[in-house]
Amino acid sequence: MVYAIVRITSPGNAETPPSTSETTVTGQSSDAPSTESGLGATSTPGSTSLASTSTTGPPAVTGSSKQSDSPRPDASPAVPPTTTLQLPGAQVVLPAAWSGTAKVTVTVAGECATSTPSVYTDIPADLALDLVQNEANAAEVGLPPGTHGDDVALTLGINTSGVPSLAIYSSQIESSGAFHRYWNLGLSPGPQRTDINGTLIDQSADGTNPNLMVDAETSLQPCESAGTVSLPRALAEGSVMTGWVSQTAAELTVRATTTDGKRDVTVEVTLTRKQ
């Protein structure tokens, strides 16, 4: 009796081995330089950009059977960490914010002066204290010589959605990208609080002064054209602020005159801690 051994193989080209399905995920070594000349290229040494550091992880598995070995550029650069500082006296960690109400007293001065000031009460108010370094990080610009990143930046907004309203910025990144300081701020420790004293010392270099007020005084109507009422008026150098902040509350008083000499304003703010 004869036995025959038969080997059964799949049809196809005899020279082509059977295919094997596999999925391979290929990562990128952290110290391997990129060979691409576009977005994935290695950054130039010596860059001073505050947002230049990024982290690239392994590529995700897609529908294809095998990932390319080419590195994938990160979609967005890493954001610099927020700089924090504890205020002496108040022991408040910045950034921090307070909200509450303000009493605003507006006096018309100049050739259209009136004998009785206008008083507005219970106007919404917001106060924020941050650090200059965080302002620079957000705008992706460097700090000028002599400016310290842990200097405090103050922002005060009074009734920003209506009139009367007032805005104060102790410093700001201007449209040109340059850092500009408007107020000279002094902070000193008090009993469970930090005292604040400030003087407006400079105006915006590009003409967009952020320290201004808008009022609804109609007493100018008989004296000037209607177009001069409720216009933004820049605060003049020499305007002052005094007050304090604590872990739970804040009080601030601003006394200012506008650059056109036609308004004197006093703002008394009472606030509670928001964050």
- Which tens digits make up the pLDDT trace of 4-56? 444 444 444 444 444 444 434 334 433 433 333 333 333 333 332 223 233 33
pLDDT: which is higher, 108 or 241: 241
Cβ within 8 Å of residue 30, ≥6 positions away: none
Reported confidence tier of residue 183, pLDDT bands at 50, 70, 90: very high
Interatomic CA distance for residues 77 and 56, integer angstroms: 10
181-187: which pairs have CB atoms within 8 A and are 24 or more residues apart? 181/147, 182/210, 182/211, 183/154, 183/211, 183/241, 185/151, 185/152, 185/154, 187/87, 187/88, 187/152
pTM listed for this prediction: 0.68
d(C-alpha 123, C-alpha 7), whole Å? 93
Terminal CA-CA length for the chain: 96
The answer to whether 214 touches 104, Cβ cutoff 8 Å, is no
Angle at 200 between CA 193 and CA 192, to 5 degrees: 0
d(CA 104, CA 153): 23
**pLDDT of res. 227:** 56
Mean pLDDT, to the nearest integer, of 177-206? 89
